[in-house]
C-alpha cells in the first residue's frame, strides 16, 4: 500500500544498517514501518546480519537492492559505502551491537556497515538502537564507546529493559520498532 500524500517521512531517505544481533529480525518490521511512513529506505547488512535475516526479506519490504558486501557495486560506479550515506538523510543502525558500536567509536571500517558509519560524517546523521547482553551493555568499554559517539553527535534510542535472547533480563533489548520509528520521525519530521 503506498503511503498517504501527507506521510511525515514522504520523500525522506533513510539508510538502515542491520548488524548481526538476534534482534535484527525487528529491523525488518522497522523497515516496513518506515516505508509505510513514506520514506525511501536503503538497507546495508553486515556479514553476521545475513546469517539471521536474508537480504531478500529487506528487498521485499523496501523495493530496493540490499547491500551486504563491501565490494558490491553501487549505482553506476559509485562505491556503496559512499553512495548510500550521500543519499541518506539519516543512518539508522538497528540493531547496534557492542561490536558495531566499538567499530564506530574507533573508526574501524572493515566491513560495509562500519565503513558506512565512518563515511556518514558530514553526510548524514546517525541514530543507533543498541542491542546486546546486559553485561556487555554495562561494560566500561561499551559505555565509553557510547559516550564518545554521543559526543560526536550520534543519537541513541534504547536499549530497553526486559528478557533477552540469552535467557536473562535487564537492559540490552533493542528498542521496539515503533519506538525507533518515532525517534526517526522526531529527527526528520519534527513537530512544527
Residue 1 neighbours by CB under 8 Å, 6+ apart: 36
What's the order of all strands across the beta sheet hosting 40-45?
66-67, 40-45, 13-18, 90-96, 125-130, 155-156
Strand partners, 25: none
Total Cβ atoms within 10 A of residue 52: 20
Average pLDDT score over residue span 162-183 = 82
From 166, 168, 169, 178, active-site residue: 166
**pLDDT digits over 36-88, tens only?**
999 999 999 999 999 999 999 999 999 999 999 877 766 666 666 778 898 99
- Is residue 20 within 8 Å of residue 46, measured between CB atoms? yes
Could you tell me the three cell numbers for 107? 573508526
- State the pLDDT confidence band at 160, using cuts at 50, 70 and 90: confident
Angle between helices 177-188 and 24-36 (to 10 degrees): 50
For residues 122 and 169, what is the distance between their CA atoms, to the nearest angstrom?
38
| pLDDT score of 2 | 53
Helix ranges restricted to H, 52-163: 55-62, 80-87, 98-106, 112-119, 134-138, 140-151
Mean pLDDT of 170-178: 85
CA–CA gap between residue 156 and residue 4 (Å, rounded)? 28
* 3-class DSSP string for 9-29: CCCCEEEEEECCCCCHHHHHH
- Does residue 164 surpass a pLDDT of 70? no
- DSSP reduced 3-state for 59: helix
**Per-residue pLDDT for 129 more than 90?**
yes
Which pLDDT score is estimated for 1? 46
Average pLDDT, the chain: 89
Does residue 24 carry a catalytic annotation? no
pLDDT of residue 162: 74
**CATH number belonging to the domain at 13-188, selected among 3.40.50.1950, 3.40.50.720, 3.30.1330.80, 3.40.50.300:** 3.40.50.1950
112-119 vs 98-106: helix axis angle to the nearest 10? Answer: 40
Phi and psi based region of residue 162 (left: phi greater than 0; alpha: psi -120 to 50; beta: remaining): left
* C-beta of residue 38 within 8 angstroms of C-beta of residue 69: no
Q: Where exactly are the structural domains of the chain? A: 13-188
Amino acid at each position: 500500500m503506498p503511503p498517504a500524500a501527507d506521510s511525515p517521512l514522504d520523500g525522506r531517505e533513510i539508510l538502515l544498517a542491520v548488524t548481526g544481533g538476534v534482534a535484527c529480525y525487528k529491523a525488518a518490521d522497522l523497515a516496513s514501518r518506515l516505508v509505510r511512513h513514506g520514506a525511501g529506505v536503503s538497507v546495508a547488512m553486515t556479514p553476521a546480519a545475513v546469517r539471521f535475516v536474508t537480504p531478500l526479506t529487506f528487498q521485499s519490504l523496501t523495493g530496493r537492492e540490499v547491500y551486504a558486501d563491501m565490494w558490491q557495486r553501487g549505482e553506476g560506479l559509485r562505491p556503496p559505502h559512499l553512495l548510500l550515506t550521500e543519499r541518506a538523510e539519516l543512518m539508522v543502525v538497528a540493531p547496534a551491537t557492542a561490536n558495531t558500536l566499538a567499530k564506530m567509536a574507533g573508526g574501524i571500517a572493515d566491513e560495509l556497515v562500519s565503513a558506512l558509519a565512518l563515511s556518514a560524517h558530514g553526510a548524514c546523521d546517525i541514530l543507533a538502537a543498541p542491542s546486546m547482553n546486559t553485561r556487555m551493555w554495562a561494560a566500561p568499554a561499551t559505555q565509553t564507546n557510547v559516550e564518545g559517539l554521543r559526543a560526536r553527535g550520534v543519537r541513541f534510542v534504547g536499549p530497553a529493559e526486559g528478557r533477552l535472547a540469552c535467557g536473562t533480563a535487564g537492559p540490552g533489548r533493542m528498542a521496539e520498532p515503533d519506538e525507533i520509528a518515532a525517534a526517526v520521525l522526531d529527527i526528520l519530521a519534527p513537530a512544527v
